[in-house]
């Protein structure tokens, strides 16, 4: 792609990172289903292994199909580079891996996907890391939670499950004063609705399983680097600023500049953690991204219509959709998510836990699955599934109280979706 200095999002989602295959002229990015790559000679192999030359060595590290996906997502996010991996949870560990160490901590929003809460509250302890959970609407609490051992701040742009919108600018300002990166999970928003780097974020992570792929076929994750953080500004990030023993004392930030984090993620993160994305999965995700803006516009339009309808229904206690004027997050839309508040929200049903279960069982078009961001409309009762491992207090803090169900609104006919919700609500509240 040459000529224009900048291209629109709709053009980039189709073309960024991709070129016709030089061997065959194939226009669609091929699936390079190979584990290894032939070196030109011994000097070429040595240069690759010494990080003196960029190229393909082994598909745990790099793969041509995956590379196109990495470049495309980085371009759409406005970053300098990206590392694709096996899942969204893998992306979160990959993002933290160069930053953390035993005894260090990360400050995390209470409004996260239930699996992420478990990962941060339980699993990372096995690495000697810890997490401090804070209500990110309370900026003073975020500041107070940061200490000398804090190495990152983590939140979601549009939080799962409630669809809450984080004030990224305010949180990024706190991270900057602490000299640490802000990591934003942009899965629910996608770069079409929200560009966290424009609000001061350092790193963005995605579960590509969701809206980026959009068809519920493959799992994947990606970490995108803004390239704007000075990893050598203090002594907090020795993995990036100090000599790396595995590469004869090479200093990643000194050697690679704004690509330091990305190349560390490949040369050390993927090398040692092995959280590799497979090329077929990358291919499916690339095809999904080609229609991202079209799908997101429909997702948002449907979600807004359904949320308004639900809010007016007497069988409903409340709806958390940020696109409603009644939402405390409504004013953030124009600034943080100017193209819409996403398609994820929760609904509190009169009748509590039992009514929620009845409603989920009564829906016909909506699929009851532990996923979101599909072209199909999805529903789940988080308190009994994705957030089941949490205490009731944690569930409420995460926006997944027992009387709440989560909707991920798809791209079907909105009138059909409303009719389906209406009949299921009738079943769920018939004895109230």
Give the Å distances, CA to CA, from 36 to 57, 59, 63, 128: 6, 6, 9, 34
Check pLDDT > 90 for residue 377.
yes
Stretch 107-119: mean pLDDT: 92
When computed from its CA atoms, the radius of gyration of the chain, rounded to whole angstroms, is 22
Query: DSSP 3-state assignment of 347?
Result: strand
Mean pLDDT for 71-88 is 98
Question: What pLDDT, on a 0 to 100 scale, did the predictor assign at position 360?
Answer: 95
DSSP annotation of 276 reads P
Nearest CA to 411 out of 381, 384, 385, 373 is that of 373
**Span 240-254, average pLDDT:** 96
Cβ–Cβ under 8 Å, residues 364 and 420? yes
Where is average pLDDT lowest: 43-57, 297-311, 362-376, 392-406? 392-406
Per-residue pLDDT, averaged over 97-107, amounts to 98
Q: What string of DSSP letters covers 174-210?
A: HHHHHT--EEEE-TTTHHHH--GGGGT-SEEEEETTT
Q: Do 92 and 86 form a contact (C-beta atoms < 8 A)?
A: no
Which CATH architecture group holds 13-288?
Answer: 3-Layer(aba) Sandwich (3.40)
Q: Please say if the pLDDT value at position 10 is more than 60.
A: yes
Distance CA(160)–CA(165), nearest Å, equals 10
1 pLDDT higher than 70: no
Question: What span, in angstroms and rounded, lies between the C-alpha atoms of 374 and 219?
Answer: 12
Report pLDDT for 115: 87
- Cα-based distances in Å from 133 to 22, 182, 363, 397: 49, 15, 34, 10
Beta strands at 105-109 and 378-380: parallel, antiparallel or unpaired: unpaired
Q: What value does the mean pLDDT take over residues 24-33?
A: 93
Residue 60 has pLDDT above 80, yes or no: yes
pLDDT at 300: 98
Mean pLDDT of 345-355: 93
With a cut of 70, say whether residue 23 has pLDDT above it.
yes
Written as six digits, the tokens of 275 are 């959280």
Which tokens sit at 149? 């051992």
pLDDT of residue 400: 82
- pLDDT level of residue 283 (50, 70, 90 thresholds): very high
Task: Report whether pLDDT(114) > 90.
Answer: no
Residue pair 175/202 in contact (Cβ under 8 Å)? The answer is yes
- Give the pLDDT score at 384: 84
Give percent of the chain with pLDDT exceeding 90.
89
Looking at the chain, the whole-number percentage of residues with pLDDT higher than 70 is 99
**Pairing of the two strands 150-156 and 182-185:** parallel
Q: What is the pLDDT of residue 81?
A: 98
Which CATH number is associated with domain 293-428? Answer: 3.90.1150.10
Show me where the domains of the chain are located.
Answer: 13-288, 293-428
What mean pLDDT value characterizes the chain?
95
Tokens of 50: 């010494």
At residue 131, does pLDDT exceed 60? yes
Q: Does 4 score more than 70 pLDDT?
A: no
Q: Which two tokens stand for residue 376?
A: 């199909």
pLDDT score of 3 more than 70: no
Give me the pLDDT at residue 199, please. Answer: 98
Asked if the model's pLDDT at residue 82 lies above 80, the reply is yes
Which sign, positive or negative, has the C-alpha torsion 305, 310, 155, 146? positive
pTM of the model: 0.95
Query: What is the pLDDT, as a whole number, of residue 5?
Result: 57
């Amino acid at each position: 792609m040459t000529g224009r200095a900048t291209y629109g999002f709709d053009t980039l989602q189709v073309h960024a990172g991709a070129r016709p295959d030089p061997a065959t002229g194939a226009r669609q990015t091929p699936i390079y289903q190979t584990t290894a790559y032939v070196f030109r000679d011994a000097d070429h192999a040595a240069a690759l292994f010494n990080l003196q030359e960029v190229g393909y060595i082994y598909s745990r590290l790099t793969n041509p199909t995956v590379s196109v996906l990495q470049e495309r997502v980085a371009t759409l996010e406005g970053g300098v580079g990206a590392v694709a991996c096996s899942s969204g949870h893998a992306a979160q560990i990959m993002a933290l891996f160069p930053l953390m160490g035993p005894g260090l901590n990360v400050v995390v929003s209470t409004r996260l996907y239930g699996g992420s809460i478990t990962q941060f509250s339980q699993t990372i302890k096995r690495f000697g890391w810890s997490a401090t959970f804070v209500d990110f609407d309370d900026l003073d609490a975020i500041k107070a939670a940061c200490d000398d051992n804090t190495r990152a701040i983590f939140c979601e742009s549009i939080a799962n499950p409630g669809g809450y919108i984080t004030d990224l600018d305010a949180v990024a300002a706190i991270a900057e004063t602490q000299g640490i990166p802000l990591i934003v999970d942009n899965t629910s928003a996608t770069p079409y609705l929200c560009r966290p780097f424009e609000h001061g974020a350092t790193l963005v992570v995605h579960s590509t399983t969701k809206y980026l792929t959009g068809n519920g076929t493959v799992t994947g994750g990606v970490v995108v680097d803004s390239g704007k953080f000075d990893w050598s500004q203090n002594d907090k990030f020795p993995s990036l600023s100090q000599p790396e023993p595995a590469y004869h004392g090479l200093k990643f930030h000194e050697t690679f500049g704004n690509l330091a984090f990305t190349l560390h993620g490949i040369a050390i993160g993927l090398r040692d953690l092995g959280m590799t994305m497979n090329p077929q999965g990358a291919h499916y995700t690339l095809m999904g991204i080609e229609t991202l803006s079209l799908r997101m516009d429909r997702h948002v339009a449907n979600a807004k219509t359904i949320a308004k309808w639900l809010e007016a229904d007497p069988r409903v206690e409340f709806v958390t959709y940020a696109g409603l004027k009644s939402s405390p997050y409504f004013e953030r839309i124009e600034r943080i998510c100017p193209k819409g508040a996403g398609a994820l929200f929760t609904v509190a049903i009169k009748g509590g836990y039992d009514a929620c279960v009845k409603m989920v069982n009564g829906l016909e078009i909506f699929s009851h699955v532990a996923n979101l961001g599909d072209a199909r409309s999805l529903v789940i009762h988080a308190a009994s599934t994705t957030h089941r491992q949490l205490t009731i207090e944690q569930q409420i803090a995460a926006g997944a109280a027992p009387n709440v169900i989560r909707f991920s609104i798809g791209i079907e006919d909105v009138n059909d979706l409303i009719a389906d919700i209406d009949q299921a609500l009738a079943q769920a509240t018939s004895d109230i």
